[in-house]
Amino acid sequence: MSLPSRLVSSVESASALDDVSSTLSSAVQPLASRPLLRDALTGRWLGHSVHPMVVALPMGCWIAASILDVTRGPAAAARRLVGVGTVTALPAVATGAADWLDTSGAEQRVGVAHALANDAAVTLFAGSWLARRSGRSVLGRVLSFVGLGAVGVAGYLGGHLAYGRGVGVSTTAFQSGPEEWTRAVRHDDLPLEAPASVSLDGLALVAVRRTDRVDVLEDRCTHRGGPLSDGAVVDGCLECPWHASRFDAVDGTVLAGPASIPQPAYDTRVIDGWVEIRRAELGDLRRNPVGAVHGTG
């Protein structure tokens, strides 16, 4: 195991961070009580998390300022870049906090360390701007370089959360359902207007029988993997029991967050008393079954 991996493992097992997590969660929790604000921060309007997109601006500004410092570029331009980066870091902090709210355990601890490193970076760059503004350019440059180090640590931890832990990634990205019409469940075995769990060759589905049709989605919530079949039908929509995300039961559209990615939906029909389904989305390489062999071209 590499040194960075060992350090991350140490953070994941650091129970001392749980008290910090509890304090931060209490401070951030008001976001959850404002559905419109939380939807805006978690990215329901965008189709995926907002956080990775908004971090680009402060990072770009800070890196550009440091390049000017190294190449002895215009000091005023470097100062402005540091200032713009510091101000635009605030939306990055807010969107990251909204995503972090629904994590737990090791993920939450890494998220706390990620946040602390980012907070250190913002503080250092704010100090750099103040130092530059008061004419202490050497101190300003030093604070910027140290701040970039904090950004690097935060970036590594954020990468681990996304790529190692799957935080912010659709939990159904690699699921695979039938492309051809396939029997899934007997129509009369489904309760009316209530979610029911259906298993098809190891694929977990949730079905809702209506008076004139049957709606079928993948059971695992795209947000954090909650079982939709344990949820409820609210205003005709499926509501996740874990974080109250709501999905259109027909096409999987996200109607209320914190989920931002639509739920995979299936075409349905009733033949000879059986509900038959097929995948509504075709041709997606990522949805091929695990173990499938593909040509390399």
User: 257 or 222: whose pLDDT is higher?
Assistant: 222
**What is the pTM assigned to this prediction?**
0.79
Give yes or no for residue 248 having a pLDDT over 90: yes
* Per-residue model confidence as pLDDT tens digits over 96-154: 999 998 898 999 999 999 999 999 999 999 999 999 999 999 999 999 999 999 999 99
The pLDDT score that the predictor gives to residue 4 is: 80
> From CA 121, how far away is CA 141, in angstroms rounded?
13
CB 229 within 8 A of CB 267: no
The pLDDT score that the predictor gives to residue 192 is: 95
End-to-end Cα distance, the chain: 34
Closest CA to 215 of 189, 235, 245, 195: 195
Number of helical (H) and strand (E) elements in the chain, helices listed first:
8, 10
Sequence-ordered list of residues with C-beta below 8 angstroms from that of 142, at least 6 positions apart, any chain: none
Residue 134 DSSP SS3: coil
Q: Is the peptide bond before 258 cis (omega within 30 degrees of 0)?
A: yes
* Per-residue model confidence as pLDDT tens digits over 157-189: 999 998 888 888 888 877 778 889 999 999 999
* Per-residue model confidence as pLDDT tens digits over 54-76: 999 999 999 999 999 999 999 99
Which tokens in the block code for residue 194? 């209530």
The pLDDT score that the predictor gives to residue 284 is: 52
